[in-house]
Amino acid sequence: MQLAQAYVGEPVALSVDVGELLPVAAREAGITDPRELYERFVAWTWIDAGGRR
């Protein structure tokens, strides 16, 4: 939750920053297709206060 709190009011910046880290995380986890991590790593950044994307 700390990451989300650091970007309060800046959802686009949060998505961009974690999106840039996605390939790095995939590489470090030995995942050849970063799309496998998208839901866990990036998609959550677009959930608003109402629980919708």
Q: What is the pLDDT of residues 4-49, one digit of tens each?
A: 788 888 888 888 888 898 889 889 999 888 888 887 878 877 765 4
Q: What is the pLDDT of residue 49?
A: 43
Q: How many domains does the chain have?
A: 1
Residues 6+ apart with CB under 8 A from 9: none
Q: Is 36 domain-assigned?
A: yes
Is 12 inside a domain boundary? yes
| HSE-up (13 A, CA, CB side) for residue 39 | 1
Residue 23 within any structural domain of the chain: yes
Per-residue pLDDT at 1 exceeds 50: yes
| 51 within a domain of the structure (yes/no) | no
Q: What pLDDT, on the 0 to 100 scale, is given for residue 28? A: 92
Q: What confidence score (pLDDT) does residue 51 get?
A: 47
With respect to residue 52, please indicate whether it lies within any of the assigned structural domains. Answer: no
Assigned domain for 53 exists: no
Q: In this predicted structure, what is the pLDDT of residue 11?
A: 83
Owning domain of residue 16: 2-46
